[in-house]
Structure 1
């Protein structure tokens, strides 16, 4: 097993920032990207708000041959990977193709592409269904398209675990890098803002029906009543620290030091949720004590019972109000598989800048007993924990550490 896995490149596509710099500026300023849905007419639906990536034209960024083959989700992923590689100073053609792999997370696949082709099938007939439907909707398509575009033929895969899947993918990337692969492109994006995807999310019963963008998504707030969904996410270049140093990587944002995952017990069993254990496993894997963590990026479900469970887990591990907690996703919505990789990118940017971005628009309810960051906070950040939970009981935690 080789040395530690580090992040050397970040590519972000977020509702409140197109690209890493624009996103970071918005996150630090508390600027939200949540608004009324524009990608379809939401008037018939109880939920009408989303975090949409505005100003994205795939034709401006990708070869024209790829446009009819790909869902919006995959177009995001391809551009995010391009940005991450450029940020890391990686030229794939100069590396061995078998030393580079791709591990992404997916929640729903290419819903918008699939919906369009199903409409064609039902209204016009099978001869009007694109041949690309066979893979454009699939969970693994982002991994495949990125690997084809950049000639990355090393160990690859896809993880499906709702929001937790984004951390699981990065953890698998870490495992592959520590096992000898020099570079893994990893992270996740989703783009489920279409009628088909909207109905699927509504069926989960967790969407906010509020119509005020500033008051619709309120984790750890007395007014919490569900989350606002969004699209986008982040792709990260994960490398072996030694390999990054040898090739002269322009920067190292930080190391993926620890990871833990658990699954909640059966409802009604009387056993506690598994999030606390996931945090403890991740800290133990990282070799860090709770007191060495400078910030926790919360999952932030905005469902009172889930918020209580998360706040309890944080307090039990770190102590009541003992560590700053933040949830910048209140400015983007919950991005499915893209949420946790975006939180990881945000945590790494916090380490570089010495600033914790806020949980915008939220007034913390005292009952939760956590130190929720609601305004930008200047403080040294050397180590961070990122939490994510997936619908159905998935729990994941990742520990990040700066490189001294």
Structure 2
């Protein structure tokens, strides 16, 4: 069976624009969390988010695309451009049907949709943009990336909420194994507007703390919910032989194992299947728990869900059996963009032999028996990393990435 590798990364995150800027900020413990500026959050109980600052769409997006794209899609197009450039790919030199696109989404371009609905209610249907017919759509990032780069190979979109970024990479690997040489995959999301904010508040999982340094403390005894963010990562996934034949600039790592499970309804007595997802991903990679050098945790930030994840890790690896980190404390949970950003971060950690910290958290709660990396980066010889993600609705996803030989 062919080996599937990652050859390019494109990152738009609250604490860094571009892969190396993001990675430097992450190792420095620089947080991108703060009071919301994209709208006035004063009337809402949750006011902190991870916003992508310093991004000027006009510098990255052609003027003809500006009227038909949402902030989310502009970030996604920019990340895809950077990933393609980073991989050293010239799409025009590759067969159009040999390049696919698989992205993750949570609910589509809600900021664009909110604006057009406001126009409809306040001014009438004549003032609603014709682009509303597709600009809001949950598959719009896949569509716009594929159109922009003439990628007509197998494509799709995964709607598994915050697990989607991993699921998109799992599906990309499937396409590569079936013969598609290259797939653009990952997730970029943005829902920091009233229409996107209210549903997250309604979930009861969003932090109401006003101090950015105290708002998102996963695995801590002071955990009180998560902070939402925007952005994510796009990755270039290729067949290893094809990548070498075209002279790929670098190989960040191999997608060695993938698995997904679905939990029963919230009121069911059945336990979470997160551990099973991790076990199945390890089996898919042909590895044992002893082979994993670091876990990038889902880190919901709510006591019950954190405890469930920590105990699943302790059962699989043993208490404090493997270093665990959640660098998303610097970005917030990015909806469909979060898991792919964690995978990109894991690949960078494997490349440089360093585990980024879980900032703002001093240590895990007594009922979370894990070796949580806090305070500062931890240098370590890293070969294999496990990345976990959970999405609202019971979605669990696990991905194993391996450092190239």
Please name the residue that 2:310 is paired with: 311
Structure 1: state its 5+ residue gaps: none
Correspondence list, 1:47-126, <5 A: 47-126=46-125
Given the alignment of the two structures, is residue 397 of structure 1 paired with residue 374 of structure 2, yes or no? no
Query: Distance in 1 between the 2:264 and 2:99 partners?
Result: 37
Offset at residue 266 of structure 1 (A): 2.9
Q: For residues 192-245 of structure 1, give each alpha carbon's deviation from its aligned partner in whole angstroms, at most 9, with x where no partner exists.
A: 000111112111111100011001000000110000000000000000000000
Counterpart-to-counterpart distance in 2, 1:341 and 1:164: 9
How far does residue 367 in structure 1 lie from its aligned partner after superposition?
Answer: 2.2
* Separation in structure 2 between the aligned mates of residue 320 and residue 365 of structure 1, nearest angstrom: 13
CA RMSD of aligned residues (A): 0.7
Alignment pair present for 1:134 and 2:129: no
**Secondary structure, counterpart of 1:299 in structure 2:** coil
Q: Which residue of 1 aligns with 2:262?
A: 263
Cα distance in 2 for partners of 1:341, 1:324 equals 20
* 1:269 Cα deviation after fit: 3.2
Secondary structure in 2 aligned to 1:186? strand
Which whole-Å CA distance do the structure 2 matches of 1:244 and 1:318 have between them?
34
**1:237 match: secondary structure:** strand
1: CA distance between counterparts of 2:178 and 2:366?
45
Q: Deviations over 1:231-285 (max 9, x none)?
A: 0000000000000000000100000010111111233432211001000100000
Pick which of 89-98 and 268-277 moved more: 268-277
Question: Aligned equivalents of 2:82 and 2:21: distance in 1?
Answer: 13
TM-score between both structures, scaled by the size of structure 1: 0.99
Whole-angstrom CA distance in 2 between matches of 1:108 and 1:134: 15
SS at match of 1:109: coil
1:366 is matched with which residue?
A: 366
Tell me the CA shift for residue 308 of structure 1. Answer: 0.6
Residue 197 of structure 1 corresponds to 196
Q: CA deviation at 1:27?
A: 0.6
- In structure 2, the residue matched to 1:383 is 384
Residue 73 of structure 1 and its aligned partner are, at CA, apart by 0.5
SS in structure 1 of the partner of residue 224 of structure 2: coil
Q: Distance in 2 between matches of 1:144 and 1:397?
A: 26
Q: Deviations over 1:282-336 (max 9, x none)?
A: 0000001100000000000011010010001111111110100000000000000
Secondary structure of 2:37's aligned partner: coil
Correspondence 1:335-374 to 2 at 5 A: 335-363=334-362, 364-374=364-374
What is the SS of the residue equivalent to 1:398?
strand
Matching residue of 2:36: 37
Q: Which runs of 5+ in 2 are unaligned?
A: none
Identify the residue that residue 185 of structure 1 maps to in structure 2.
184
2:5 maps to 1:6: yes
Alignment of 1:138-157 (within 5 A): 138-157=137-156
Distance in structure 2 (CA, Å) of the matches to 1:166 and 1:286? 19
Residue of structure 1 in register with 2:240 after alignment: 241
Structure 2: distance between partners of 1:238 and 1:268? 38
Greater shift, 25-34 or 258-267, is seen at 258-267
SS at match of 1:176: helix
User: How far 1:96 moved relative to its partner?
Assistant: 0.2
